[in-house]
Amino acid sequence: MSVSETDRAVQRQAITEHFLTALEQVVWRYRAMEPPAQDADLYAEVVTAEVAHQLAVARSALRRRPSIAAER
């Protein structure tokens, strides 16, 4: 691996770690809230929106740092 390939691999790994950490935080935050049963649908929508946002952030970051294999 060249330095460039190594740098990209490290950057992509950092993006992945950030994404997984953000998802864990969403889970812990909403579990801690313990929403009332009548609000479960609302909380599910909020969690879904947060996960979708984190996916969009990760995808955007990964597009800016494409893998070497994708370029070949």
CB contact set of 11 (below 8 Å; sequence gap of 6+): 65
- Write down the pLDDT at residue 3: 55
Q: What is the pLDDT of residues 9-56, one digit of tens each?
A: 899 999 999 999 999 999 999 889 888 889 989 999 999 999 999 999
State the Rg of the chain over Cα: 17
Q: What pTM did the predictor assign?
A: 0.74
Residue pointed to by tokens 């740098």: 7
CB 54 within 8 A of CB 16: no
Residue ranges of domains in the chain: 3-67
